[in-house]
């Protein structure tokens, strides 16, 4: 289940819609239980280590 959520979050992030992805996540998984907090920390860690980390940062700050 978490891999499907991670895939959807990555789809949002890699298309430049990370904020919309967080809104979607709050819709399907409200609150901040320990599993969600750990999941988000691991997702962020994976993105920072990604070969596309610079691209993700640029997409997150793009104001087109």
pLDDT, tens digit, 9 for 90 and up, residues 34-63 = 999 999 999 989 988 988 888 888 887 765
Q: Taking residues 23-43, report their average pLDDT.
A: 94
Domain residue spans of the chain = 2-61
pLDDT of residue 24: 94
| C-alpha–C-alpha distance, residues 50 and 23, integer Å | 23
pLDDT of residue 63: 57
Helix (H, G, I), strand (E, B) or coil at 20: helix
pTM to 2 decimals? 0.77
Contacts for 31 with CB less than 8 Å, ≥ 6 apart = none
pLDDT of residue 64: 57
pLDDT of residue 58: 86
């Amino acid at each position: 289940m978490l891999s499907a959520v991670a895939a959807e979050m990555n789809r949002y992030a890699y298309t430049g819609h990370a904020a919309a992805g967080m809104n979607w996540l709050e819709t399907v998984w409200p609150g901040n239980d320990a599993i969600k907090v750990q999941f988000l920390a691991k997702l962020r860690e994976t993105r920072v280590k990604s070969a596309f980390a610079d691209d993700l940062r640029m997409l997150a700050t793009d104001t087109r």
